[in-house]
Structure 1
Amino acid sequence: MNARLPHARSQRGITLIGLVFWAVLISSVALLAMRVIPTVNEYLTIKRVVTRIASSGASTVPGIRAEFDKIKSVEYAISTISGEDLDVTKDNDRIVISFAYAKEIDLFGPVALLIRYNGRSQ
């Protein structure tokens, strides 16, 4: 007779291979996030600064670039671009400041991630 006991349950859980798989997957995602989030923060800071300068009423290209460099010297998050990297144009009597740059993030060994950021004032 092969009767089952009413309180007996089959074993459930995660195997060692499953545990290692999930540990590697979660640590890889965490590593990627820790490397990418500071660059996204820098991009958002640059975009905020560029929008503030464009709406402040600065009128000359050298003045706009000097204002960006002055803010960059105070703002610790901006390190990739300078005032010389900004493209300043006029659109319907509004100043539009645009920028574009590439950020290479070393992950491990020969593996790197290249992110291209571009933005403009609103």
Structure 2
Amino acid sequence: MSDTGRKDFTDKAAEAVKPDSQKSYLEQGKEKVTDAGDKAASYLQPESNKGVGQSVSDSFGHGTDKGEAKSNTKSFGESASEYAEAAKEKISEAAEYIGSSLGGAKTDAEKTAEKK
């Protein structure tokens, strides 16, 4: 049972079980709108005004929201590691370029010295 104006958790479960490929565009649109409204209400409605079922459902939903956010973002360490690897590659490329440029300059200098 849900609180007044809130989406019933049995409806949420039924929507989750039915694949999107079997839903009409109207059903999918309605779900998105009602899900967004219910999610907003879950954060705005004080815990003291929620029934037991609604409180449990909201707690589960909030945990899922945090899990999705975590799985969709990289940790600072992962991002820093990727940037460090990219920097190492660029430094290596630059060193290679400088080395080949200096090697060419040395060869040119030796040829000029031989001509004198």
TM over 0.5, shorter chain:
no
- Structure with more helix by fraction: 2
Higher normalized strand content (fraction of residues):
1
Larger CA Rg, structure 1 vs 2: 2
With structure 2 as the length reference, what TM-score do the two structures score? Answer: 0.33
